[in-house]
Amino acid sequence: MSTTLPLFWHLSSASKKERLDASVKLIGALEQFQSQFVPANNSGATSGSGSDEEDEDEDEEGPSKSDALDLLNVQDVSYSIRRLVRGLASPRESSRLGFAVALTELLSRIQTVTCSQIVALIVNGSKVQSSMSGQEERDVLFARLFGLTAVVQSGLVVRTGTLNTSASSAADASTLSSFEEVIKELLFLGEKKSWLRESAWWTINLAMDALKDSQVAWRDDAVLKTIQQLFVDYDIWSPEKVALTLKLQGSYPDQDWRKLCSPAFKNPDLLHIGNLQNLARILKATDVQTFVQSNPQLGFALILQLTGVNGNHQFDKLTKTKTVENILTSLDTEGIKKYIEYLLGQMNGPSQTT
């Protein structure tokens, strides 16, 4: 492990190039170590490069006994996963960015961990304590967000296949329950702090994209469960939820969207003229311009729907202009700002005449 320990320091470098170089070297070394690893028979013992230096973290011994990472991974890999997860809560320089990139890449490369293992490790390592200061609470919440995003972006959240944990048992790389847990934790983060909501819903959007393109046997069940989580269990509406709803309606048109969108919206077509007053209220409840700029994937999804199958009979035809068409030809920041201002103005119009 002495060959990899110095690389963790460089993951916190202010230099992007230095962080990426350290990440590449770390992942390369860990892959090499893992390729030479032979799991012990049901004993939980591991072999590999090994080192007493792992003992430098006093809290390392506890998790190593409960997360079962050592069963199928060389000591360097299991240690690195735990350290990368802990590093997500570090306030030092660019630690969170460097550690998140390395964790995402490592999870995408190794096939010897399960989604439930990593999610449990992230959640248990980012619990808010009553004795924490405001900054400490902020750090652990960001750690949970970055960790869950790494699980999604690495593909682990919908990975197929099984892991032979012993001669008589196996575990699925990902499961319906672990996917549900990821969505639940992201919703929790978005509700816990308003400044986390946009990023949390952006990751939910990534998770739904991954689910749609996946081959997991539980995909259809996950769609139903997630829709239940997003629209029944969680009934608060925001611009992020509006944008994701428009996207999900296009992907899963057979769902009962009239029921799922009520009572917030009278019509399942969120851009229907009868919904404009409520839609305007939701959009005005936050900084829409900031939302669109900081979440281009969701923001553009909302804009694109205005000229798609769910919205082509609305704003341009209602206002007898080519506002949407003109904005979509530019897609520049200034154009988006003007479009949002114009859109809010148009949505306020009907409420003044009714």
Q: What does pTM read for this prediction? A: 0.76
pLDDT of residue 320: 58
pLDDT of residue 296: 53
pLDDT digits (tens, 9 = 90+) for 113-166: 999 999 999 999 999 998 999 999 999 999 999 999 999 999 999 999 998 766
d(CA 261, CA 4): 51
**Residue 202 · residue 298 · CB < 8 Å:** yes
pLDDT of residue 303: 56
In 41-175, which residue ranges form alpha helices assigned H by DSSP? Answer: 61-66, 75-87, 95-109, 115-124, 134-153
Contacts of 90 (CB under 8 A, 6+ apart): 12, 96, 99, 139
Helix (H) or strand (E) holding 163: strand 162-164
List, for the chain, all residue ranges whose pLDDT scores fall below the cut of 50: 42-64, 288-289, 307-313, 319, 330-331, 346-354
**Residue 117 · residue 123 · CB < 8 Å:** no
Classify residue 199 by its DSSP letter: H
d(CA 136, CA 129): 9
pLDDT of residue 184: 97
d(CA 198, CA 289): 12
- Cβ count within 10 A of residue 352: 7
Locate 8 and state its tokens.
């963790």
Q: How many CA atoms lie within 13 A of 11 on its CB side?
A: 28
Inter-CA distances, 179 with 86, 121, 349, Å: 22, 15, 42
